[in-house]
Amino acid sequence: MLPWQVVLRLARTPLTRNAPRYTLVATNTAARMTALPLETLGHYDPVPKPAPAPSRSPNNQPRPISLWSTSQETAPTKVLAINKDRVGYWLGVGAKPSKTVGRLLRQAGVSV
């Protein structure tokens, strides 16, 4: 067990306005919010990005470009990439995930 409390949380990555991106980090609870994390474990992009539409239709004709496509093949997706081995290590030594991180880890199939 560690002498201080470690928490797994999301740290906002300051890229641009209105385009939030987060980094999943293990950090000391006694440290300030802007302190460097103990380890970076992954990243999360909550803004759905549309998948690229195929350039040809099923009958091999050029497909018109549509900004409001509702096709299944162009369903928007969110990005969650985590290092499951390292997350498992931190959970094993007693780190506590925040509520949001716990929800994301359950969705990714990591037992919390």
- pLDDT tens per residue, range 6-26: 999 999 887 778 888 899 999
Q: pLDDT per residue over 86-108, tens digit each?
A: 999 999 999 999 999 999 999 88
CATH code of the domain covering residue 11 = 3.30.1320.10
Q: What are phi and psi of 88, to 5 degrees?
A: -60, -40
Q: How far apart are CA 112 and CA 106, in angstroms?
A: 7
The answer to whether position 22 is within a domain reads yes
State which residues form the domain around 30.
Answer: 6-52+59-104
For the whole model, what pTM was predicted?
0.72
Residue 111 in domain: no
- Is 112 a member of any domain? no
